[in-house]
Each structure stands twice: as C-alpha cells, then as structure tokens.
Amino acid sequence: MLQSFKLALRSIWGNKMRSFLTMLGIIIGVAAVIILVSLVNGYMSSVIENFASMGVNQVNVNVINLSSRTLDVDEMYGFYEEHTDLFGAISPSVSINTTVKHGDDSLESTSVSGRSEQYLDIEGYELEAGRNLAYADIVSRQKVCVVGSYVAQTLYGSADKALNQTLKVNGYAFKIVGVAEVQDEDNFDEGGTDDFVWMPYSVAVKMSRNANISNYTLTLIDTNDADEATALIEDFLYEIFKNDDLYSVAAMSEMLDSLNEQIAMMSGMLGGIAGISLLVAGVGVMNIMLVSVTERTREIGIRKSLGADKGVIMQQFVIEAAVTSSLGGVIGIILGAVATTAVGGLIGIDATPTFGAVLVSFSVSVGIGLLFGYMPANRAANLNPIDALRSE
C-alpha cells in the first residue's frame, strides 16, 4: 500500500501539468459547492436572525369580527387565564393611523398602537426612563403612553426630558410615563424600530371608534408546545366563529421551522447543482487515467512478468486516481474557504465554510477518484503480460 502511494505521488509529480489539469475540475467543483452552500447559509442565517428578532415565542391571532360573531377581549383573556401553563403573556393590538405631535413638531411615520401592560415583556424591551403601562391605566382608560427612544430624542431631546411631558395623538393629549431603550442603533430613524407610541389598548379602541379588537399577541412558555397551543386557540376560536375563514393563528416558531426546512432544501439543491461539476471532473479523471494506463502498458507488463499480481496493479492505479482527486479536493477546500470569506465580506454577510459542505465535497472528490479510477485500474490489471511487453 505504501509503495503504491509513493508510486502515485511520483507519477503525479512527473506529469505536473497533466495532473493539475486533471485536478482542475475537482478543484472547481469542490470550491463551487463550498462557496454556494456557505453563502446561501450565511445569507439565510441573517434572514433567520431578523425573523427571530420578531419573537420566536410569539403566537399572533387575527380575527374578523362580525355583527353576529364577535370575539370579546374578556373572552380572549379568559382563555389565556385558563392556559397559563402554556402561555406566558398576552396583549391585544389596536393600531391607529395618525400623526404624533408636540408643539410645532410632528412625526408622520410613528407606529401608534394600543397594547397591554405585558407588551413590554413580550417584545423583550427595557425602559430607559419612567415606568411601563399598568393594568390600572387600562382599566381606567388613562391617557398615558410609553414611547420609543427615537420619539423621545426627536421631540424632546432625550429620554429624561421626555418623561412626564405630553404629546398629541389624534388631537388627544397623552402623558409620557415611560421611554424604552434604544433597540436598533443602525436604524435609528423615522419609521424604525424605536419610532413608536404605546397607549392602553382600552384607550386605543375608543379612539379608533371600533368596539372590537381583531389582533392579539401571546407568548409561549415553551416553543416546543407551539403545535398544542395553536390547536387550542383554533378550537377556542372555532367555537365562537364556526368558520375557520374568520380567524388565523400563526406561531412564529412554526414559521421559523418552515423557513429552516426551505433553507436546507435550497442549500441542498444549490450544492447538487455545483456537484454536477464534480461528476464532470470524475470523467476527466477517468480519461486521464486511461491515457496513463496506455502510456505505461510496457511498465505494467514488466511488473506483471516479475510477479506483481492483478490486485497490486489495480491498487496502484486506483490509489493514483484517489490521490489525484484528493489533492484537488484539498486545494478546492482552501480556495472555497478563502473565496467564501471574501465574497461574504463584499456583500455584507457573515459567510463561513460549513463543516458539512467541506466534508461532503471532500468525500465526494475522494469517492470520484475511487469510482472513476476503477475502470482504468481494472483495465491495467487485466492486461496480458506478454501483450503488454510487446507494446511500444
């Protein structure tokens, strides 16, 4: 085995240009697999991170209230209180399209919505100043609000200055009781994550002149219970509406799982497409090995006449093909790793070669050497020593 390996290296080194051209297909194929799979995984990881920041443990409920079939907010809270083993928090959501004003200054893209006292924890936000909305604010319909850091800094200069000040929403004056910490420094602008006003949902309902709330957000204590939780909500809503077209329940964790499956499928497809070049490279390895057998027919005849059996001859050529493709695989891995990092940096994503892509592409390259090297090796091993010696 060791002697066959040495002979393989000697043959490869003795025909450097031909060996390199043989490896080239393997190099390109391995590098392409690593680059494509790693870039796709890097890009999709950033998508998943953004998606996950929306709240993986959240369940969003949307209903269409009719005059004959209506989901009352107290009914939804009653359901939540019956299943506190599954749900950690709940908040109705009432959006208001309006302009936020303070004196002569106004913000037209600010997200204004009615929420519960639990919404701060649902979003995982911390307060920079003041307090959160309280249950008492909701019950007594107090015109108070919690604002995002962008609103506080734009209209008042800072969070501390904004505290206990008033702003006008749809002509109503609201007292600022809390200011949330900065959530996204890179998108600290109008319409961004920090540009919001939260008021008690009871006040928002009255302002929107809509007696019924259509949107709710609940959080799961354990995301593994997403299927059970969504099924319970759907059963509860069906009892009220008797029509599953009038409501929808979406667990973010289920959507994330679905996204992961699609990413894995896409990554596999792109890897398979890139892997076609490895198949083409295998044909190249086989052709070059056939040429090598033809060129070394006399050498094979001499070795067989000196006692080398069929297995030794076959081993020599199979190992030579495997070493050629393995060296190409190693070079392809190095090239793919460098190119992945460089391209990832250029397009602004954190792309690193994945262990799976490296392992699969290298294994395939070695397998190609063994598979496509077998036929030339078998041909060499079956040569008649007398005919081989007569070869010129």
d(CA 162, CA 128): 11
Share of the chain above pLDDT 70, in %: 81
* Residue 319: CB atoms within 10 Å: 23
What digits encode the pLDDT tens for the residues 56-66?
788 999 999 88
Contact predicate 153/201, CB 8 Å: no
pLDDT band with cut points at 50, 70 and 90 for residue 1 = low
| Tokens 């090598």 sit on residue | 292
> What is the model's pLDDT at position 390?
56
What digits encode the pLDDT tens for the residues 79-102?
999 999 999 999 999 999 888 999
d(CA 258, CA 271): 20
Contact predicate 312/7, CB 8 Å: no
Q: Distance from CA of residue 199 to its chain's centroid? A: 34
Contact predicate 388/293, CB 8 Å: no
User: Greater confidence, 374 or 363?
Assistant: 363
Structure tokens at 220: 């799961």
What digits encode the pLDDT tens for the residues 111-152?
999 999 999 998 889 999 999 999 999 999 999 999 999 999
pLDDT band with cut points at 50, 70 and 90 for residue 361 = confident
DSSP at 77: H
The b/e string for 223-234 (b: 16+ C-beta within 10 A; e otherwise) is bebbeebbebbe
What digits encode the pLDDT tens for the residues 145-192?
999 999 999 999 999 999 999 999 988 999 999 999 998 887 788 888
Domain boundaries, the chain: 2-51+258-390, 90-218
- The contacts found for 333-337 with CB under 8 angstroms, 24 or more apart, are 333/30, 333/31, 333/34, 333/358, 333/361, 333/362, 335/27, 335/30, 335/31, 336/30, 336/31, 336/32, 336/33, 336/34, 336/35, 336/38, 336/361, 337/34
| Tokens 């709940």 sit on residue | 90
Share of the chain above pLDDT 90, in %: 33
Beta bridge partners of 198: 113, 146
